[in-house]
Every structure is written in C-alpha cells, then in structure tokens.
Amino acid sequence: MGLDKYMSTADVAAYVGIHKSTINRMIKRGDITFAFQIGKFWRFKKEDVDVWADSLKKLEKPTPKEEGSIQIEDEKPISWPTGEA
C-alpha cells in the first residue's frame, strides 16, 4: 500500500472539516477505532476515513433551504425576520 493512502491527523481534520484536536479526542474516547500509531503519530487509511466521513454526513441535520426560514414536511416555508434592513 502506497504512502499516499495514509493520512495524518491534520489531513483527516482538513478532509472532514473537524479540528485536529477533536480528532485526537475522538481517538482517545474510542469514537475513532480505525486509527493506528506509528511512533507517536496517528495514521489513518484513506478508505477507512472515507467510510467514516460518509457515516458523518448521514448524521448531519439538513439545513433550511433559505436563510431565515424552515421547511416543515410538505408545507410552506415559515419565515422570520433576520435582522437585516
């Protein structure tokens, strides 16, 4: 397996949009089980990160379609003032 298939903590953090200290905390808590250490550095197989990143996307809450409104199933959007003039 080539070295380009392995990612550092900083690489993973940038890839998924999470701070690297959060990645380290998740490793420590056992939330990330696919990381392995080489010396004092954590490494990740890119394919494992891809699977994990996909699972994170499924957990994300959908955002409203417009700023200042929410969409309730099959109903009109509800709007509220955004404070902009």
pLDDT digits (tens, 9 = 90+) for 32-46: 999 999 999 999 999
Contact call for residues 9 and 20 (beta carbons, < 8 A): yes
Say if CB 6 and CB 46 are below 8 A apart.
yes
CATH number of 48's domain: 1.10.1660.10
Asked if residue 71 lies in contact with residue 84, where contact means CB atoms within 8 angstroms, the answer is no
pLDDT confidence of residue 39: 94
Q: Is the pLDDT assigned to residue 73 strictly greater than 70?
A: no
- 14-72 pLDDT, tens digit per residue, is 999 999 999 999 999 999 999 999 999 999 999 999 999 988 877 766 555 555 555 55
Token output for 11: 């690489």
**Structural domains in the chain (count):** 1
47 φ/ψ angles, rounded to the nearest 5 degrees = -65, -35
21 inside domain: yes
Confidence (pLDDT) at 75? 56
CB count in 10 Å sphere of residue 31: 11
The answer to whether 45 and 11 are in contact (CB under 8 A) is no
